[in-house]
Amino acid sequence: MPLDSTARPRVTVAALIEEGGRFLLVEEHTADGLRLNQPAGHLEAGESPQQGVAREALEETGRVFVPQGMVGLYLSRTRRHTAHGVQDVSYLRLAFFGAASAADPDRALDDGIVRTVWMDIESLRASASRHRSPLVLRCAEDYLRGQRYPLDLIDTDPGVF
């Protein structure tokens, strides 16, 4: 059995974009098939989490995202059977809420992104089997419960840049 990866989680950022009771999601190709997720991805070297979530949202939705606060920090673990054995990966997700511009129709979406889709919470709950992670629904429900934290909860040392 591989070493438990929770000691070295991969850092991801996710954008919760809500308008009129509906959330903006992306439908994307994954190793497990077509899945739904918030606009999200890995934090890259040389960027703050706030810059990373804005970049990911733009790449995956074609919309400029301005983070206004955090919904929460989430640690999750995924185990998948692959041709090379069991893949054991943990993720530390920093979930932000904020506002997004209209989509730029001339901007191509990231590789693997099929489309964006707006879903209300009932549709989101009904599609849970198609979510990339259980955190998709958890973050949306935390947001709707009013869970909010200020952006200054995260401090990025200048050495990162």
161 belongs to a structural domain: no
Distances (CA, A) of 61 to 2, 28, 117, 160: 35, 11, 10, 26
Phi, psi (deg, nearest 5) at residue 71 = -90, -40
pLDDT in tens, 11-45: 999 999 999 999 999 999 998 899 999 999 999 99
157 belongs to a structural domain: no
138 belongs to a structural domain: yes
159 belongs to a structural domain: no
pLDDT in tens, 102-134: 999 999 999 999 999 999 999 999 999 999 999
52 belongs to a structural domain: yes
Domain count, the chain: 1
Give the model's confidence band at 100: pLDDT under 50 very low, under 70 low, under 90 confident, else very high. Answer: very high
Per the structure, the complete domain to which residue 118 belongs is given by 5-151
CATH (domain of 111): 3.90.79.10
160 belongs to a structural domain: no
